[in-house]
Structure 1
Amino acid sequence: MVKAVPGATDLAMLIAGLLLLPGLLPGADAAEALTASAGETDLWQQPGAMSADWQAYQQQSAADATRLQQQLQTELAAAKLTAPLPALKAKNFGLNGIDNPAALNAVLSYQTVLGGWSKRTDMQQVRKPGQLAGSEPAYIPTFDNGATSTQMRWLAAYYLQASAVEQAKIRTALTQAVQFVLRAQYPNGGFPQSYPLRGGYHDAVTLNDNVMTDLLNLLWDLANQPDYQWLAADLRASAQAGFAKGVAWLVSAQVVVDGKRTVWTAQHHPLTGAPVAARKFEQISLVSSESAAVLQLLLDKALDKAREQKPSSPGVLPALCSGIAWLQQHQIRDKVWQRHDTGSKLVEKKGAQIWARFYSLPQQQPVFFDRDGQVYSDVNQLSLERQQGYGWYQTNAKGVLKAWRKKPELAAQCGQIGGK
C-alpha cells in the first residue's frame, strides 16, 4: 500500500530519501498535494544505482527508441526523402474498427517496428514510406488515448472473417503487439503512458485516462477470452502473468491516509509507487473515475483468480472493500454539474450522483487546479477556459457501485475483514 506523501518536501528529495532503503514505502502520514509538476521532474533521480532489472529496462527502452529512429531513417533513405512526411490527425483514428481488407491493411501499416501504434492519428489510408506513424511524434508509439490497445482489439475482432492470408498477417501483428505491451510493462507490474520512455510524468505509472486498466483488461482478455484462443499458448500464459503482476502493483499502490486505504492517484512514481503530479492542472490528488475503473477491474477479473489458488495479490478483496467504501463516502448526491458561457455550477437534481474528478490529500475534499498550478476548493474560482475545458465532475463511479450492489456476499466479507 502506498501512503500519501508529505507536501512540504521537494519531490526529488523525497524520492531520493525513499530509495535509500529498498522496499521502503512512502511517508507515514498524508499531507498537502505537491505543487511541482512531474513534467518538470526527473522521476529517475535517486542515490546509487537502480536494481539490475530496472537498469535492464531503461537500457531496453533506449535501444528501442534508437530502433524506431533507425527504421524511420531507413524508410527516408529508400524514399529519397530528407524529412518525414507528416501523418494526418484524427479523433479515434478516423475509424470505428476494421471491417474490410482495406481498413486492415491501413491499420497494419501504422504499426511501428516495435509493435505498438500512435494516438490521434488518421489510419484510414495506408501509410506511405517515410511517413510518420503518428501525428504527434513524441507519442510514437503510446498507450495514451486508447492507442495500441484499440488496434489490438480491432485485429482480434476481424480475425474470424478475414481470409487465410489476412489471418496470417493478423497473427503476426497481434503477436508482435502483445510482446510490445509486455515489453513495456515495468518490472514491478506498472505501465508508463508511452513506450519507449520519453521523460517527465509520461514515465509515471499511469492510471490517468485508464491507461493501466485498459492494458490489464486487455492482458486478461488475451489470456482468457476465446477471441484470442488462436494465439500461441505461451504468449497467452505470458499475458496472464503480466495481468497478475499488474494487479499486484495496483494493490500495493492504493493510497493510505491515516492508516486507511483510500483509492488511487492519476500517476504514481515508477519506482516507489508514490503519487506524482502531471500537468499543472493535474496535481497530486485522489481520482474518482480512474479509481472506479481499477475497482471494476478487480471486481470483474482479479477477485476470482485470487480465490481459486494461493493468490498472487492477497490484498484484492481488502482493496475492493476500502475503495468501494471510499467512493460511497465521497459521492455528491442530488446534484449535477452544468457548464455555460460564463462558467459552471452545481444544480440540484434529485437522485443524481456525481464525484469530483480530484480529491485533495490528506483532506480528501474536491479540489481544482488551473493552468498556472494554483489550487482551489471551488470550481468557480478557476479561469473560464479551465471551467469549460475539463471534466471537473464525473459520473463514472456509478457503474462499479451498481455492480457492487449485486455482490452482497462480498460486502459481508468486507464487514469481517473491516475493509483493511
Structure 2
Amino acid sequence: MIQIKISIAIFSLASVFLSAQVKDTLAEKMLIYQLPNGGWGKQLDDKSVVNYNLPVDKALLKKIKETGDDHATIDNNATSREINALVKAYATTKNNQYLKAAEKGISYLLLMQYKNGGFPQYYPNTGLYRKQITYNDNAMINALTVLYNVAEGKNDFDAVSSALKEKSKIAVQKGIECILKTQVLQKGTPTIWGDQYNEITLQPDKARAFEPISLATGESVGIVRFLMLQPVTPEIEKSIKAAVSWFKQNKIEGYSYNVTKVNGKAVRTLTEDKNSIIWARFYDINTNKPLFGDRDGSVKYNYNEVSEERRNGYSWFGDFADKLINKEFPKWLEKNKISG
C-alpha cells in the first residue's frame, strides 16, 4: 500500500514536471504573447522587447497581459515568425491550440491588409509612419509569404481551414497587384521599390529621419524573390526582368563593406577591394546615386559625411542582389523557359 502511494506521488511529480516543461516551449510562450486581435508585438511597451528566451514569471506575465492591440505589428518578423512557428509546432504535436492560434494570426494579417493590397507596418496603430505600406525589413513580403503558404497549402500550412485558404488566395493576388503598382518608374522604365509608401496615393514616402524617400535594394531583392514564386504573367515577367536589370546597372564594383568590433562597438567601413561587388542600401529615386539619411533628417551623398552614430549604427551597404542575379534569376528563367 505504501509502495503504491509512493508510485502515485512520483507519477504526480513527473506530471507536474512535464507540464512545466510543455509550458516552457517556444510554442507555448507564443500562445501567451499573442494579442487579443490575433497579432503579436515586437515590444511589450516602449522599453521591453519581446524575448522568447526569458522565463515567463509572474512579473513578465503581468506585463504581457497589459500589452494592447496597438503593439501588433509585422515589423522585425513579428506575427509572421509566430504563425510559422506555431504551424510547425502543430505539424509535430497535433496540439489544436497551436493551429487555432496560427489561424487567428492569419486572420489578423487578412484584417490588416488595405483594399489596395498593401500592408501597414502596424495595425490598428496608425501613429507616425506605422500606417504606411511597408516593405522595410521585408514586413509586407513576410506577411504575403505566410498567406501564399496558406493559399497553396505549403510548408505545413495544409492544415489551415479552407475558408482561410480562399481568403488568402485573394489577399495574395491583391498583394501582387500592389507590388506591381508600386515599382518605381524612371521616365516610364520600371526600376525597383522604395521602403515604404503612402497608403492612399501609393507614392514612395519617408519613415524615420534616416530613412528618406529612396530606392531600397535589400527589400527589393525580397520582393523579386516573392514574385518569382508566382505563376508567370507578362506583368510579373516584365517586373522581375526590369528589377534585375536595374541591379546589374547599379552595382558598386571595387569596394567591400566591413563590420568590426572596437571596444565592443560596431565600426562599419567602406574599403577598396577589387574583387568585391556591393550595393548601397538606398539610392536616389531619380538619379540612382547612393544616398544616406542622417539622424537629423538630412540626406548625404557621401558616406563619410554621415554622422559617426548613424554611420556605425546602420547597415548602409551589402551584397544584396549577388545571389539573385547570378543564381536565382538564371534558374527562374530556365525553369519557366523564358529568354533572358
Q: Which residue of 2 aligns with 1:328?
A: 248
Among 273, 280, 293, the alignment partner of 1:349 is 273
Q: Residues of 2 paired with 1:261 and 1:410: CA distance?
A: 23
Report the Cα distance in structure 1 between the residues aligned to 2:335 and 2:298, rounded to whole angstroms.
Answer: 41
Structure-2-length-normalised TM-score: 0.82
Q: State the shift of 1:100 in Å.
A: 4.9
1:171 correspondence with 2:99: yes
Is the alpha carbon distance of 1:318 and 1:201 closer, same or farther for their aligned partners in structure 2, counting shifts above 3 Å? Answer: same
Alignment map for 1:237-248 (pairs within 5 Å): 237-248=166-177
Structure 1 distance, partners of 2:197, 2:63, is 34
Gaps of 5+ in 1: 1-98, 308-313, 416-420
> 2:24 matched to which residue of 1?
102
Aligned to 2:227: 298
Query: Is residue 301 of structure 2 the alignment partner of residue 377 of structure 1?
Result: yes
What residue is the counterpart of 1:405 in the other structure? 330
Q: How many residues align?
A: 304
Letter of the 1:157 partner, please give it. K
Counterpart mapping for 1:2-401 below 5 A: 100-103=22-25, 104-119=27-42, 120-123=49-52, 124-126=54-56, 130-132=62-64, 140-162=71-93, 167-224=95-152, 225-299=154-228, 301-302=229-230, 304=231, 306-307=232-233, 314-339=234-259, 344-401=268-325
CA contact (8 A) 2:82 2:102 kept: no
Letter in 1 for 2:300: Y
State the Cα distance separating 1:338 from its structure 2 match: 2.9
Which protein is bigger by CA-based radius of gyration? Answer: 2
CA shift for structure 1 position 396: 2.1
Letter in 2 for 1:325: S
In structure 2, distance between residues paired with 1:133 and 1:329: 51
SS of 1:152's partner is helix
Q: Is the 8 A contact 1:321 1:411 kept in 2?
A: no
1:171 Cα offset (Å):
2.1
CA displacement, residues 300-350 of structure 1 (integer Å, 9 cap, x when unaligned)? x22x2x45xxxxxx5111110100100111111232013566975432334
Partner Cα separation in structure 2 for residue 171 and residue 247 of structure 1:
27
Whole-angstrom CA distance in 1 between matches of 2:195 and 2:235: 20
Aligned amino acid, residue 296 of structure 2:
D
SS at match of 2:222: helix
Q: Check the 8 A contact 2:293/2:299 in 1, yes or no.
A: yes
Pair 1:277–1:222, CA change in 2 (3 A): same
**How many angstroms does 1:147 deviate by?**
0.5
Secondary structure at 1:272's aligned position in 2? coil
- Tell me which amino acid in the other structure corresponds to 1:109: I
Per the TM alignment, residue 394 of structure 1 is displaced from its structure 2 partner at its CA by 1.4
State the AA in 1 paired with 2:72: P
Change beyond 3 A, Cα 1:366–1:381:
same
Confirm or deny: 8 A CA contact 1:339 1:387 kept in the other structure: no
Residue 63 of structure 1 is matched in structure 2 by none
* TM-superposition CA deviations, 1:159-218 (whole Å, max 9, x none): 1321x5xx2211211111111110011111100001113222111100000001111111
Shift of the alpha carbon at 1:414? 6.4
Contact 2:267 2:312 (C-alpha < 8 Å) held by counterparts: yes
Do 2:184 and 2:190's aligned partners in 1 also have CA atoms closer than 8 Å?
yes
Gaps of 5+ in 2: 1-20, 43-48
Task: Return the alpha-carbon distance in structure 2 between the equivalents of residues 184 and 133 of structure 1.
Answer: 22
Tell me, what secondary structure is at the counterpart of 1:151?
Answer: helix
| Number of the residue aligned with 2:5 | none
Shift in CA distance, 228/134, structure 1 to aligned 2, threshold 3 Å: farther
**Partners of 2:70 and 2:125 within 8 A in 1:** no
Cα pair 1:298 1:320 within 8 Å, conserved: yes
Identity %: 31
